Amino acid sequence: MDQQTNLDRIQIVLVDTQDGANIGATCRAMKTMGITHLALVGNREYDENRVRTLALHASDVWEQAKRFPLLKEALSGSVLSVAATRRRGKFRKHSSLNPTQLAEVVQKTGDGLISIVFGRESDGLTDDEVAMCSQVVTIPTSDQFPSLNLSQAVQIITYCLYDTIKTYPEGANPVTQDRCEEAALKASEALDEIGYFKLGQEKLWTFRFLRDVFVRSALTESEIQKMEKVFVKMARIKAYKNTDYDE
């Protein structure tokens, strides 16, 4: 498979964009780099004229955009979801990619939808929105004025994708983010059963951490089943010991 097939499974997700002009400019930025799937999260109405004036010959990207009330729904079915943000937030991700590294990750990721998520013009993505993604991409910028316009950020990232991705990966077939979430939930519940968590928030943090690790490692269905089994079995042994053999 080829470059275009790989670019075609990427969707740009805009969360609660405030100005239609920025959506139009984003459509143009995307299409110049061969990426045409746009997802809009939120219920805002946009001024068609503002969108189309800046989209120019990329108005088809706008016309075919999918609308989702919630980010979670837009990400559903993704094998990889990446938050574009400068801020790491309180649910800090364990590593942040630069745009070229992101392109290399996409290049290697097997079959399935890849979502790259951009926040509001005024204040980007919330901590919870970043936490819903399994990775973070950060564009290096000058300390003197680090604030990129939304469509400029999309332009840099899509350029790096277009410039780096030359082929479609063969063989690998990772499960979706939803499936990873299900496994991470099962794992954290198993940990909970054996009294692993002391603090109220610990279970949520661990769940998110495990989910991100599962997504980033691009597990196949049989691998994620093996991973679930590790936690479930471990909890059973511990529970068994607790009730019958503990001294």
**Which residue stretch of 38-46, 157-165, 195-203, 219-227 sits at the interface with a second copy (rule: CB under 8 A)?**
157-165
Kindly state the helix (H) or strand (E) to which residue 136 belongs, with its residue range: strand 135-137
**Encoded amino acid at 40, one letter:** L
150: which 2 tokens? 């939304």
Rounded-to-integer distance, Cα 170 and Cα 184, Å: 27
- The alpha carbon dihedral of 175, 155, 65, 124 has a sign of positive
Query: Quick one: 29 or 74, whose CB is closer to a second copy?
Result: 29
Rounded-to-integer distance, Cα 206 and Cα 199, Å: 11
Q: Tell me, what DSSP letter sits at residue 18?
A: S
**Which residue stretch of 68-76, 159-167, 193-201, 203-211 sits at the interface with a second copy (rule: CB under 8 A)?**
159-167
Those residues whose C-beta lies under 8 Å from the C-beta of residue 246, and which sit 6 or more positions away, are none
175: which 2 tokens? 């499960």
Counting contacts by CB under 8 A, is residue 162 touching a second copy? Answer: yes
Considering only residues 87-116, where is the footprint of a second copy by CB under 8 A?
98, 100
Counting contacts by CB under 8 A, is residue 166 touching a second copy? Answer: no
Rounded-to-integer distance, Cα 27 and Cα 33, Å: 10
Query: Quick one: 27 or 215, whose CB is closer to a second copy?
Result: 27
Among 46, 91, 159, 197, indicate the residue that binds a second copy (CB under 8 A).
Answer: 159
**Which residue stretch of 42-50, 70-78, 143-151, 221-229 sits at the interface with a second copy (rule: CB under 8 A)?**
143-151
Counting contacts by CB under 8 A, is residue 168 touching a second copy? Answer: no
Among 56, 70, 230, 237, indicate the residue that binds a second copy (CB under 8 A).
Answer: 56
Considering only residues 12-31, where is the footprint of a second copy by CB under 8 A?
25, 28-29, 31
Residue 118, burial from CB neighbour count under 10 angstroms (0-12, 13-18, 19+):
buried
- Residues of the shown chain interacting with a second copy in the complex, contacts defined by CB under 8 A: 25, 28-29, 31-34, 54, 56-58, 98, 100, 139-142, 144-149, 151-152, 155-156, 159, 162-163
